[in-house]
Copies of this chain bind each other. A is one copy, B any other.
Amino acid sequence: MKATAPQPPSAPVANGGKKNPTRIVIVDDHPLLRKGVGQLINNEKDLLVVGEAEDAAKALTAIETSKPDVALIDISLGGASGIELLKNIKARFPKLQVLVLSMHDESVYAHRALRAGASGYIMKQEATEKVLTALRKVLRGEVYLSDRLGARMLNTLVGGRSSTATSPIEALSDRELEVFSLIGQGHGTRPIAEKLHLSVKTIESHRAHIKEKLNLQTATELVHHAIQWVQSERVVGAEAAYSE
């Protein structure tokens, strides 16, 4: 329902002749937001929006035709399909830098986005200038993360340093993973203890260890991540399954 490229890819642009500007493609399903970011970016002398897209398919063609230096994409294009798109982009245009925009603070997605090849992760709540900062940082080949998020992810990596960026869930022992999975299926501490014929205290102990390994602060976070994980496992199982 919306035009893919509001400006002709390589024509002189309305925005006062820029010389060798950084070329940017925006992917977001909210026209209003595309307009906002576009406006903001085009106000900069060295940045230029050369394409827009509202979904994954259009994003790929837009990138193909406009050959941007950076893509700014919203991963909340329906949860999974956002990360999917990101992977596709990095597969077909490995040298293209990608800055990920997101609605929420969910570090779950930040982590996955980076693993999928993003160069940065920024929230929509962020001040507008930060988006420009992030854009330029990503362009220089650096990684942009909000301070808080960055700190947390750093010590996740340091704690269980594995250069191949395996998810910290790999670090869980068998028993811990079992408990984690049960939590993700919606079971409470006591039912888990009963199901495994163990003391409630033991389950509490496992939960504590899991929290530590996954760098989680509260029980609520633990449950949230567990459910998320179980969900994503279901999806993985459908395509590239049983790899253990």
Give the complex CA separation of A3 and B125 in angstroms. 13
In the complex formed, the residue of B with least CB distance to A32 is B36
Q: How far is the CA of A33 from the CA of B40 in the complex (A)?
A: 11
> Any chain B CB within 8 A of the CB of A94?
no
Name the B residues within 8 Å of A228 (CB-CB).
227
Residue contact A221 to B35, C-beta cutoff 8 Å: no
Q: Does A45 contact B (CB under 8 A)?
A: no
Q: Which of B104, B124, B186, B220 contacts A32 (CB 8 A)?
A: B124
Provide the bound-state CA to CA distance between A27 and B53, in Å: 25
Which of A155-163, A167-175, A193-201, A230-238 interfaces with chain B?
A230-238
CB nearest to A124 among chain B residues: B30
Residue A131 is within 8 A (CB to CB) of chain B in the complex? yes
Q: In the bound complex, what is the Cα–Cα distance between A185 and B185 (angstroms)?
A: 17
A14-22, A73-81, A145-153, A205-213 - interface stretch: A73-81
Instruction: Tell me whether B31 and A33 are in contact (CB under 8 A).
Output: no
In the complex, A127 has a CB within 8 A of chain B:
yes
The answer to whether B2 touches A127, judged by C-beta atoms less than 8 angstroms apart, is yes
Most chain B CB within a 10 A radius of its CB, from A30, A234, A238: A30
Would A238 and B77 be within 8 Å (CB), given that A125-B30, A186-B220 are in contact?
Answer: yes
| A128 CB to nearest B CB, Å | 5
In the complex the two chains form, what is the Cα distance from A54 to B128 in whole Å? 13
A236 vs B218: C-alpha distance when bound (angstroms):
29
B186 pairs with A242, CB closer than 8 A: no
A16 to chain B, nearest CB (A): 17
Cα A137 to Cα B55 with chains together (Å)? 29
Chain B nearest Cβ from A230, distance in angstroms:
10
Known: A31-B125, A32-B36, A78-B239. 19 other contacts (CB 8 A): A2-B127, A29-B237, A29-B238, A31-B128, A32-B33, A35-B36, A35-B37, A35-B39, A35-B40, A54-B241, A77-B238, A78-B237, A79-B238, A103-B103, A186-B221, A186-B224, A220-B223, A223-B224, A223-B227
**A interface, CB within 8 angstroms of B:** 1-2, 29-40, 54-55, 76-79, 81, 103-104, 106, 124-128, 131, 185-188, 218-221, 223-224, 227-228, 231, 234-235, 237-239, 241-242, 244
